[in-house]
Amino acid sequence: MREFAQNWPANNWSWDDLCQAVGTRTTGVRGSAFANGQATTFFPKPIAQKPIAEYFKQLERNESSDERLFVFNLRAHAPGLEHRNAARFRPLGISVAEIPAYFFGAPGSDTRIHYDCDWIDLLLSHFQGQKRVLLFDQNQNDRLYQIPGTVHSAVDFSKLETVAQRFPLLSELEGYEVLLEPGDTLYIPKGYWHHITYVTGSFSITYRIWPKSLTEWLKTGYSWITGGSDILLNKLPGVATWQARRRAAAFLTKYGQPL
């Protein structure tokens, strides 16, 4: 939806506004999941702690980096800004959860391709700079080399040209590509794989659409329970290593090549 969020307060925030709003607060920044051995974990771990304002200044200068703020709670760090946008979707007949998730990224950084484990519809509104998004539905799971038991792919989409020979089914992929500009809003249906590349320093706000039927609620609830259980279990000693071996064996059986 081109320019749907053009009149949101966030579309008028300058990097200076954001820096002043967060003050001296610090947070953990994420890096490339593949480069840091986190390609099969649900949530990437921070690779460094740094002042948020310092990071925002990097984005303003468009300095290339793999650093991102992932599912960032800007509302907690910058309560003085206007974060209420849920009512803006009502004219579309859509009810969203008033729990905005913020995503910031430097030029060249990317989010590993995945689909959200809670199986829910998303609305991504983009601000500052440009962001490139690839979308694929569930029919493309095998062509994306899904890692069994996860919502992730074995393919590093930031290096498609160099990994294409290893993953020949990529040549059969069918999906969508969009370049988001400030004020644009993108609807991402539940279960859709998405790969996101920050073309320039920019940020987006994502809202989740409440399920509309009991069946959808049950599916979402089941996804929350299984996904949450997996995250908690992997914190136990030895479980993450065991899961990695089990999934690698399943991947080898399914695709005939090592993970």
Q: Which domain holds residue 221?
A: 9-255
Domain assignment of residue 29, yes or no: yes
110's tokens:
């990317």
Domain assignment of residue 1, yes or no: no
Domain assignment of residue 13, yes or no: yes
Opening angle at CA 45, ends 13 and 182, nearest 5: 25
State CA 65 to chain mean position distance: 17
SS3 label, residue 145 = coil
What's the Cα-to-Cα distance from 64 to each of 47, 75, 106, 108, rounded to whole Å? 16, 26, 6, 6
What are the strands, taking DSSP E only, across 17-78? 26-29, 48-51, 68-72
Query: What's the pLDDT score for residue 40?
Result: 66
Domain assignment of residue 157, yes or no: yes
Query: What's the pLDDT score for residue 106?
Result: 95
pTM equals 0.91
pLDDT in tens, the chain (259 residues): 999 999 999 999 999 999 999 999 999 999 887 777 766 666 678 889 999 999 999 999 999 999 999 999 999 999 999 999 999 999 999 999 999 999 999 999 999 999 998 889 999 999 999 999 999 999 999 999 999 888 899 999 999 888 888 999 999 999 999 999 999 999 999 999 999 999 999 999 999 998 888 888 888 888 888 777 777 877 788 887 888 888 889 999 999 988 8
What CATH number did the domain enclosing 16 receive?
2.60.120.650
